[in-house]
A and B are shown apart, each in its own frame.
Chain A
Amino acid sequence: MILSLLGRSALRPNRNNNIFLNTDLENQFKAFREKAADAMPGSDWTPFEKNRSLPPERADIVIVGGGVVGWSIAYWLKQKEMIRDGVRVLVVERDPTYSQASTVLSAGGIRQQFSLPENIHLSMISADFMRNINEHLSVLNEDPVDLQFNHSGYLFLASEKVAHIMEENYRTQRYAGAKVSLLSTTQLKEKCPWINTDGVVLASYGLENEGWFDPWMLLNAFRRKAISMGVYQCFGEVTGFRYTTNTMTTAEGDTVDFRRIKYANVQMPNSLEYQPVECAIVVNAAGAFSGKVAEMMGIGLGLKDTIAGIPLPVEPRKRFIYVVHCPNGPGLDTPFLVDYSGVYFRREGLGGNYIAGMSPEEEEEPETNNLEVDHQFFQKIWPHLAHRVPAFECLKVTSAWAGFYDYNTFDQNGIVGMHPLVNNMFFATGFSGHGLQHSPAVGRAMAELILDGGFKTLDLSAFSFKRIMTKEPMLERNIV
């Protein structure tokens, strides 16, 4: 108070010869104020030379993983805080080039055609968010966000065996409010004359809020807005945690260890230097690599039959996407077509290019130690493609890439919530290929969970860790 009064008096106009004296005094007061603030605990000042790329020494919430889910959580945390700088959020990303991140390697589709109502709601909320994306994520004096959203919809085809599942899903989707329509074989042939309806008895087409977009734009929009709101970004790898353990005994006499993370060790890239970041909450949004982060806390390394022995069931699964060129292929109205054999394709651009892929069978899962593309795998996809769309009999593969799914081996649905034994670690991972399309809604739900203590707008308690402990899977039947 006194300091500010002194400051105000320095602004009153003075005679010329006194100005220098007053500005010098003003500068001294300013330096004194800065030193006093730095000496208070909680400030960032240290007496030693600091490497500028190190993260801050203290952060309230550390988000491990800088993909679209991680940045979405960071944005929503800042959006929901009641006072400015209420929470200090740090996002730690291992790879500044995002060369292995699932977000940027994704096909970028969004659909409401799921079998679980929670997934349908997640997609609908995310689509609403993307429709109004400039209201949420526009930064003052910067270009508006352009997701390049193609509203072509998803078209699922069902054979006789699975037609009843499709009908059931249709009812769930309509009940949840998604705009989906069922098509018979004749209607399908009328709508898409380039399809061969052999073997198809039913098709389900999304009328609204379905299509594909550019995932890199969404990631950058979240990142830009979050950084403008004060989120710290650090490129480094979380290599370990320092935690305190609280051992308690159950009624039967078994001991249970409750852990609380105190420090997250962030190691700089290509260096042994690391910074222990003192934190209150850690969010595991590391995608395909979340299993490793969870192991650092000892999740899954306990005795076989205890809760501590249940690992986080998320592992990386490699998926390939092939870019093909077909001059006479389906035109502008090509939806994101998913066949019952597991093959999918969608249009890419206006030049007759398409991207296609297929989820392999369990036994044929490729190795995940690298992102090399197996071109032989395309020989398995091509027959299905050519059968479904006769024009694809003459096509040429121009390019291909591979990416990881953060595959939840338990039930292929996301894991959102706290861990029962690690009191301050939250999970937002395991989405098995839908992380991108659900990211805005999941980010908001996590921010509500962390800041408000519970889900407010959408109840995702069905996705908590509890179902993994009680071994009750919530299977999503419409996985691509």
Chain B
Amino acid sequence: MASRFPILCICLSPFSLSMFCVSVCQLMQRSCRQVTLLAAPSRYWSSIPVAPPSLQPRLLLFLSQRFHDIETILSWSSWFKNRGLRQKNLFAGQSEWFRSDRRGKFNWDFMNHRDTSIEEVDVSNTLINYTGLENLVKQRGLCTLSVSGCAEVDDWFLSRLHIFQDTLEELDISNCPRISVGGLAALQKLRGLRRLDVSSLPRLQNPGLVAILLEEMLPHCHVTAIGYDHSLIYSHTQTDG
């Protein structure tokens, strides 16, 4: 049997896209045996004069449901994106660190002040995640951390914040779509926390209750939780007499 990774042997230049599809279809014949569908995509491609550089998502979905190989390609692409994410994290973490507020000093000369600790870090709206915290681990004197709007910050990130448990005073985790109650429970270790912002966390089902529980858990901390709809929902039920 020929190799099961036919895609690797095929050149993916856009000019040969139609040839690509035909040869891909040939090879998939052996794995999928759906001949009737082959004719349709190959005719589709040959009618387009210039192959589009990005495939339509719907067509991709259609194809991926029928051909295992395309499914593999798509999962590779998401795996590459994850890897890219990890690489970006290092840079994102570091570049924010360069620009952090160090008591008014412009820090192009941060290298000379390596031993002074950083007090405030603002990495809002970046791709920082759990591994990105590696860069911040050394900063024992961190007082303020803002990760508002970071799409990759999740509960594991919060559980790792225990490194700053003695010094962290202000934490802003608003608008992070991946945080849920389980991660907020991990904030109990931050005993020095004075201000916590948990506004607009989409995954919280009972934001009012969670805000109250957080205030109980961290008695000296002021919890801000805006951006939620706290109104009661009335539902009318019809009862049959």
Name A residues whose Cβ lies closer than 8 Å to a Cβ of B.
Answer: 4, 7-8, 11, 26-27, 30, 33-34, 83-85, 131, 135, 138, 140-141, 148-153, 179, 191, 207-209, 211, 213, 331-333, 350
Contact = CB atoms under 8 A, between A and B. Distances in A.
**Count class of interface residues, chain B:** 35 or more
A11 B156 contact: no
A220 to B, nearest CB: 18
Contacts of B216: 331-332
Contacts of B162: 179, 207-208
Contacts of A148: 180, 182
A336 to B, nearest CB: 11
B155 A149 contact: yes
B33 A350 contact: no
A114 to B, nearest CB: 19
Contact of A350 (B74, B183, B210): B210
Interface stretch (B9-17, B101-109, B185-193): B185-193
A131 B130 contact: yes
A153 B82 CA distance: 28
Contacts of A207: 159, 162, 189
Interface stretch (B35-43, B88-96, B230-238): B35-43
B74 A140 contact: yes
28 contacts: A7-B35, A8-B26, A11-B39, A11-B42, A27-B35, A30-B35, A84-B4, A131-B130, A140-B75, A141-B61, A148-B180, A149-B156, A150-B181, A150-B182, A150-B185, A151-B156, A151-B182, A151-B185, A207-B162, A208-B160, A208-B162, A211-B182, A211-B185, A331-B217, A332-B185, A332-B188, A332-B213, A333-B217
A26 B214 CA distance: 68
B26 A4 contact: yes
A33 B35 CA distance: 12
A408 to B, nearest CB: 31
Contact of A8 (B22, B186, B210): B22
B71 interface: yes
A154 to B, nearest CB: 13
B33 A34 contact: yes
B159 A151 contact: yes
Closest 9 CB pairs of A and B: A333-B188, A151-B186, A150-B182, A151-B159, A332-B213, A333-B217, A84-B4, A131-B156, A331-B216
A151 B160 CA distance: 10
Interface string B156-186: 1011101000000000000000001111111
B99 interface: no
B220 interface: no
B209 interface: yes
Given A11-B42, A331-B217, 11 more contacts: A7-B26, A33-B33, A84-B4, A131-B156, A140-B74, A140-B75, A140-B78, A150-B185, A211-B182, A331-B213, A350-B181
B206 interface: yes
